[in-house]
């Protein structure tokens, strides 16, 4: 599973990352977690507000 956390690094984005990492660890899910912080790249996803979460594309 590929999980991408989308956000520019605000407090809510960091909290989402912490929560995702915690849940993945608790559930024993085999997941790759990455962060997308480039505003131009974020805009291309169609996400209008951050934080956002993309799972398996």
46 counts as catalytic: no
Annotated catalytic residue within 1, 10, 29, 43: 10
Other beta carbons within 10 Å of 15: 12
Annotated catalytic residue within 3, 5, 6, 13: 13
Lookup result for tokens 């989308």: 6
13 counts as catalytic: yes
Written as six digits, the tokens of 16 are: 């989402």
**Residues acting as catalytic residues:** 10, 13
């Amino acid at each position: 599973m590929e999980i991408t956390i989308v956000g520019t690094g605000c407090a809510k984005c960091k909290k989402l990352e912490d929560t995702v990492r915690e849940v993945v660890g608790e559930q024993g899910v085999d997941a790759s977690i990455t962060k997308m912080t480039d505003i131009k790249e974020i805009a291309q996803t169609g996400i209008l507000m951050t934080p956002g979460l993309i799972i398996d594309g």
